[in-house]
Structure 1
């Protein structure tokens, strides 16, 4: 079965992601249920990934989900994700993109926390744990990074208010930065924390549109944005703002620089190595 590990893992993790998304939608109206269910789904997805890697790939040690450094990577990723998105919103405010601010919903805040926990985990397991990791073994870091980030951007084209520009910016910001976080640490915990905090800060705190979704975000605040798409991201949300590219460029380059210095950038293997 190991020969077919890529399609098997791809289909299995895509199914897990779709199933958790459906469950989240069902429980989202009940905050007291949505939070523990979302966290439980995230834990279950990690367990499923570990089981698949051991069963399909015959890997007894799933090092990318190792216990060493787990909490420190999650903490650093969470702080980084919160700081980056808060910085993005501050830049939009400075340049006049905030039209209004009102209080939102604490229940929505809790529901969003649960949902974003499972979203961050399942998407990282699929895109960095399967797509990027296995492609990197075959093509090297650079090609795997480019292909995985483009696929990550393309996934967001299914959203109701998606745009090509929005998907492109998601690829360059989220796709590249999260892959860089994985390469720099060789752990999925840092990108999981980063992904969660970015999404949660966006929808659960500021209450702004996330990735072109047509589902109204419910957060602690309701921030209304107004202005040119280059500033606010338009209907796609702040992730399509030019400021999002600028905010994410610096940590992406720093993470890749760290990976290069520590020898974690992998060259394209020779054909004989790939065959082996």
Structure 2
């Protein structure tokens, strides 16, 4: 039942936050505030429901070192998406016409913070962590990555190719970040940095959700395989390649640190959950 209660708690906050953000659509400063409030509430609700249902310190979201961990993840996410867009620019598929909207970028800080935190507590904090305790790291990684990719099929302009790309690059990379560090702050930061760079800086389509008005006034055009088409650069072969590369690094670190859980070793998973790097 802990899976049910934990999912209900975090999904409720995600739903309420989503409704709040939708209600202030077009108002960047209100979006900023509602988004940050949603992210903060998600953290507190996760810590509360996990502590109550599992009766243990919630070490995967410990306050100690939270800021630096989130910051490291954010920098990695920003750098990765910048690398994707640099390749698209060099290939002639991304054109910058000038500066865009600084106010719009502020709104995306809140919007993407809410999206990153709610999705990470749901997919990595609840689903992956609990499934891993029953099936081991590799099965849980595969199952939750596929589920994470499939959830993006409900977005506007979604495609099977785009969802598959999300499953490989984001599902693997974000879960790998959690496995390597055994805390949620790094994947939350990584998720936020990636999404904010996409919308708030480079003004691209994010997971099929339409073009964004961020810091740059820019357009993306070209072959779907290279640019991601209407799904956005997350569906680009460049995103998949960089995502797989970073996932490999995270899983290598996880192996070195002894963070991989063998199949059907719940006791080992419980012990590793208590680790915090």
Q: Paired residue for 1:201?
A: 197
Conserved? CA contact 1:28–1:111, under 8 Å = no
Conserved? CA contact 2:199–2:213, under 8 Å = yes
Alignment partner of 1:236 is 2:251: no
Residue 167 of structure 1 deviates from its aligned partner by 0.2
Give me the whole-angstrom Cα distance separating, in 1, the residues matched to 2:52 and 2:16. 21
Alignment partner of 1:8 is 2:8: no
Residue 93 of structure 1 deviates from its aligned partner by 1.0
Give me the whole-angstrom Cα distance separating, in 2, the residues matched to 1:96 and 1:181. 32
Mean Cα deviation higher: 167-176 or 20-29: 20-29
Question: 1:64-98: per-residue Cα shift (whole Å, max 9, x none)?
Answer: 10123212211110110000000000001111112
Residue 55 of structure 1 deviates from its aligned partner by 2.0
Q: What is the TM-score normalised by the length of structure 2?
A: 0.93
In structure 2, stretches of 5+ residues that fail to align are 270-277
Q: What is the TM-score normalised by the length of structure 1?
A: 0.93
Give me the whole-angstrom Cα distance separating, in 2, the residues matched to 1:123 and 1:140. 21
Alignment partner of 1:184 is 2:150: no
Residue 99 of structure 1 deviates from its aligned partner by 4.1
Conserved? CA contact 1:13–1:126, under 8 Å = yes
**How many aligned positions are there?**
269
Give me the whole-angstrom Cα distance separating, in 1, the residues matched to 2:260 and 2:220. 39
Give me the whole-angstrom Cα distance separating, in 2, the residues matched to 1:272 and 1:194. 29
Residue 100 of structure 1 deviates from its aligned partner by 4.7
1:42-57 → structure 2 map (5 Å cutoff) = 42-57=39-54
- From 18, 32, 37, give the equivalent of 1:40: 37
Residue 10 of structure 1 deviates from its aligned partner by 1.8
Conserved? CA contact 2:94–2:219, under 8 Å = yes
1:137-156 → structure 2 map (5 Å cutoff) = 137-156=133-152
Give me the whole-angstrom Cα distance separating, in 2, the residues matched to 1:147 and 1:84. 24
Question: 1:36-74: per-residue Cα shift (whole Å, max 9, x none)?
Answer: 221121111111111111222223x00110123212211
In structure 1, stretches of 5+ residues that fail to align are none
Structure 1 pair 137–219 and aligned structure 2 pair: CA distance change class (3 A): same
Task: Name the SS for the 1:101 alignment partner.
Answer: strand
Give me the whole-angstrom Cα distance separating, in 2, the residues matched to 1:241 and 1:114. 25
Give me the whole-angstrom Cα distance separating, in 1, the residues matched to 2:265 and 2:79. 41
Q: Paired residue for 1:245?
A: 240
Structure 1 pair 72–36 and aligned structure 2 pair: CA distance change class (3 A): same
Task: Name the SS for the 1:198 alignment partner.
Answer: helix
